[in-house]
Amino acid sequence: MKLKLNRLAIFCLILGFNSVCAQEEIIFEEHFDGDSLNTDIWNYEEGDGCPNLCGWGNNEEQVYNRNYVEVIDGNLVITAVKKDGEYYSGKINSKGNLEFTYGEIEVKAKLAPGTGLWPAIWMLGSDIDTVGWPACGEIDILEYVGREPDMVFTSLHTPASHGETINTKKSYFEDIEEGYHTYKAIWTKDYIEFFVDGNQVYRFTPKAYDDEHYPYRKDFYFLINMAIGGNFGGPEVDDTIFPAKFYVDYIKVKKLN
């Protein structure tokens, strides 16, 4: 792990005259305090992916620009707009700064509804520049597409199954677009399990523990973005929804017991 932001929390349950205490080690915690992005942790991604990955590999329509990433009132706010006939949005990652292996990851976020929008909180293997995608592995903690209201997608992409991966679950949550909700992944050396608002939605246990089926025994880093259109978010975009805002209240990573 490149940036280690550990703290130890101690919780005690008082039972009569005795108390039982449990220790919780926080690997990383981000509450987006202040009025600007912490660039010791987060990097901006900008442009349209060209020349190497035009459309960001998914025929997405947006151009990423740091001006559409803000920190406001304790939230990360990513705004999508249409300006002068072009779509713009924001994307950040923690590559090279915050990278870790295993943990209980919890995010609290408020989705941006609307046909064509594709907000996501996800992770990529830190060796992507060496081995490429999908060999690096991908963990999608939260994906939402506005053309399918009330649905949350949690997915894993591996060399054995990627793109239209079989390692995915689409879960129905009525009015998931309303207010803030929590999205959790428990990532271990043997399985990855996903939760929405404390409800288990998917558990992935591979049929083989090799690089083809489980490239998840190494460091990963975070990505947070809101795409527009593309293979998954599109094909149609409702231009009446702009500006649209995706809010992230916090990200917390706890060490597994």
**Active-site residue numbers?**
138, 143
Residues in CB range of 190: below 8 A, 6 or more apart: 205, 209
For 254, the enclosing helix (H) or strand (E) is: strand 244-254
Chain-centre distance of CA 127, in angstroms?
Answer: 18
Residues in CB range of 32: below 8 A, 6 or more apart: 71, 74, 75, 76, 248, 249, 250
Can you point out the beta strands (E) in 31-89?
Answer: 43-44, 62-64, 69-72, 75-83, 86-89
The C-alpha atoms of residue 141 and residue 185 are separated, in whole angstroms, by 6
225 contacts 123 by C-beta, under 8 angstroms: no
Strands 91-93 and 18-30: unpaired
